[in-house]
Amino acid sequence: MSEKRLPLQSEDIKKIIPQRFPFLMIDRVIEASPDKVVAIKNVTVSEHFFVGHFPGQKVMPGALIIEAMAQAGIVLYRQKFDNDKVLFLSSVKVRFYNPVFPGDQLKVVVTTIKLLSKMGLFKAEAFVGEKKIAEAEIACGSQDAKTT
Q: pLDDT digit string (tens) for 100-125?
A: 999 999 999 999 999 888 888 999 99
The parent domain of residue 91 ranges over 10-142
Extended strands (E) in the chain: 28-32, 36-42, 86-96, 105-116, 119-128, 131-142
pLDDT for residue 146: 53
User: How many structural domains compose the chain?
Assistant: 1
Q: Is residue 25 part of a domain?
A: yes
21-71 residue pLDDT tens: 888 999 999 999 989 999 999 999 989 888 887 878 899 999 999 999 999
Q: Is residue 84 part of a domain?
A: yes
Q: Is residue 147 part of a domain?
A: no
Q: Is residue 5 part of a domain?
A: no
- Find the catalytic residue in 53, 80, 118, 123: 53
Q: Is residue 94 part of a domain?
A: yes
Sign of CA dihedral 99, 102, 104, 110: positive
Q: Is residue 64 part of a domain?
A: yes
Assess whether pLDDT exceeds 50 at residue 1.
Answer: no
Q: Is residue 3 part of a domain?
A: no
What type of residue is 35?
D
Say whether 53 is catalytic.
yes
Q: Is 11 exposed, middle or buried, given 0-12, 13-18 or 19+ CB atoms closer than 10 A?
A: exposed
CATH number assigned to the domain comprising residue 34? 3.10.129.10
